[in-house]
Amino acid sequence: MLLSEEPRLDNITRTLAGDQHPPLFFVSFRLWRNMTGDTEFATRTFSVLIGLVAVAATYRLGRELFSPAAGVIAALLLALADNHIDLSQEVRHYSLLVTFAVLSSLFYVRWWRCPSRSSRIGYVLASILLLYTHYLGGFVLIAQLIHMLLVVRPARRLKEALFLFGAVCTGFLPWLPVVIDQNRLRWDNPLYYQNALPNNADTYRAVRDALLGSHFGLMAGLLLLGLVYISYRQSKLYPHIRLHPVWPALYLATWIGLMVGLTVVINERRQFLTVRNFILITPAIVLLIGHGLTNLHRTARLFLVGVIVVVSLTTVDARRHYPDWRAVTRNVADYHLDDEPILIDVWVGDFPVRYYIDRQIGEETPRISLREWRSQYKGQFLPTLLGYLHEIDAFWLITWGDESLDEYASLIAEAGFQRTASLSVDHLGTPLYSHRYDKPGSTAAATFGDLFTLQKSNVPGMAKAGRTLTVTLWWTANQQPALDYSVSVFVLNEAGELVAQHDGPPLDGAAPTSTWQPGELKYDVHRLALPADLLPGAYQLALKVYWYGDNQPLPALTAGETGEYAVLGTIQVQ
């Protein structure tokens, strides 16, 4: 979303030159955004549709390599592959990578079997677009080069194959200096590669499950069966295994082996291995499995396909468990006041947090990535943050776990802030917090019994009939409350009659009073739905506190007067 933010396509390309990726997906996504907008459904649909094209192209490639039946089964397996489903719902370039890898292979195979102008042009274009989609596509092209050298004959055709491969390289040549510069930046500041995995057994198991599923034994056996051809003689009791032609299976095996082998070798020196990268070899795997199934008798084939479909539809073997950033920012959006800044300290999670802040609160909402501030200000990060905090009266902080606050919790207190609300969303046992901080008021607005003091309130001076009235309160407990009290905010007309009301525990139950410690400032928000037929005029906004067990309000002391409720102010209804 951020890398395709620029409206001009040439500006997006310049932006990508300083990033880690080639530009094709981001330029295409910009055009898609222009047509569909930036809703979550619209942005994810772009990758979904591309993933569907990959399924269709896989059928065609299986038909060219082996048989129509192998193509149908391979397309079905790709459509059911959890890894492909998962990455085809992300607003990222992996589904496009798979699609062009399959298309490049399809046109290469068509050229090898029956050279034509369309297969030559299709191969060069699809391969160039593959490289401009993701640099991992180079593994597929190297596999094609190896396959050319091994099987393309006579020499005249091999020269043509190498010429086509050279044309692909020439088409990528203008971007090559950018790739070299990106590679230098990638390792100097590896922001996007800190989630790379080491070469160990746990990593290999994760990759295995993503590619073959929990029923990996069956799938691996079918994959090996796809390396050969099996025919069944009517006059014999045993099948006949044929090793020729081997070139279709050889190409797919080279594709898989090269990707896996080079990834392991390179990852020893420069860690870049992620499970999602292996989506590149998923088409080759399903094609071999599809051919392996066609090697079986029809009855056995149909039975195993049925088993695979049932298992695939009822289990999930590859799913990236992202934090629920939508819920995290919703915790802020529900209680955010106008112009309050939001500080974000969730590493690269600040990218999706920004998106949901823009969608849920508004693009004009002030928000600061503390990750970016650390990188920008370096040794002056904490003094700069302290100076900023001195200029504001309240802010929200979205943070991952408790340890991040160790760095600047004392700095926040030094700036005069107290944490007044803390909402969280669990992510695999680690809380994602949405903390709110306020500076306490100098005078108390009202007291309720000997338990609570209303330090200050934010009451709108104007309201409209039929709209929602938002009232914000800041409390302190004078002593540890033993019960969970409720707050009633209500509107009275000139005759003292009730016209609107909202009752509930503080912060919709997220801050029960029994947890309040004496002297701690607590944030509270109440929303009142004003009747649509409410007459224009002046109305009183009042407040009382009670325990739901007996509904008896605590005595309210305001300006030296005691009553059942405290008047917060007057609102003018339009």
Query: What confidence tens digit (pLDDT) does each residue in 55-85 have?
Result: 999 999 999 999 999 999 999 999 999 999 9
Question: Higher confidence at residue 397 or residue 322?
Answer: 397
Q: Read off the tokens for 56.
A: 């269709």
Q: Looking at the predicted structure, is the pLDDT value of residue 338 above 60? A: yes
Burial class (CB in 10 A: 0-12, 13-18, 19+), 161: buried
SS3 293: helix
Closest by CA position to 105, among listed 71, 80, 76, 77: 71
Q: How many C-beta atoms surround the C-beta of residue 369 within 10 A?
A: 21
| Average pLDDT rounded to a whole number, residues 122-148 | 97
Tokens 């939001």 sit on residue: 342
Provide the pLDDT for residue 272: 84
Burial class (CB in 10 A: 0-12, 13-18, 19+), 538: exposed
SS3 116: coil
CA-CA distance, 64 to 76, in Å (whole number)? 16
Provide the pLDDT for residue 348: 83
When pLDDT is cut at 50, 70 and 90, the band that residue 270 belongs to is confident
CA-CA distance, 395 to 404, in Å (whole number)? 17
Backbone angles phi, psi at 521, to 5 degrees: -80, 130
When pLDDT is cut at 50, 70 and 90, the band that residue 186 belongs to is low
Provide the pLDDT for residue 318: 84
When pLDDT is cut at 50, 70 and 90, the band that residue 443 belongs to is confident
Provide the pLDDT for residue 245: 64
Residue pair 282/78 in contact by the 8 Å Cβ criterion: yes
Tens of pLDDT, residues 205-239:
999 999 999 899 999 999 999 998 887 776 566 66
Tokens 């005069």 sit on residue: 416
Q: What is the DSSP letter of 404?
A: G
Tens of pLDDT, residues 39-49:
999 999 999 99
Q: Looking at the predicted structure, is the pLDDT value of residue 188 above 60? A: yes
Backbone angles phi, psi at 450, to 5 degrees: -105, 20
Q: Read off the tokens for 195.
A: 């989630």
Q: Tell me the helices (H) and strands (E) count for the chain, helix number first.
A: 20, 18
Provide the pLDDT for residue 236: 61
| Average pLDDT rounded to a whole number, residues 286-314 | 95
Tens of pLDDT, residues 504-557:
999 999 999 999 999 999 999 999 999 999 999 999 999 999 999 999 999 999
Q: What is the DSSP string of 160-180?
A: HHHHHHHHHHHHHGGGHHHHH
Quote the percentage of the chain above a pLDDT of 90: 82
CATH, range 446-573: 2.60.40.770
Provide the pLDDT for residue 32: 97
- Burial code (b: 16+ CB inside 10 Å, e: under 16) for 239-252 equals eeeeeeeebbbbbb
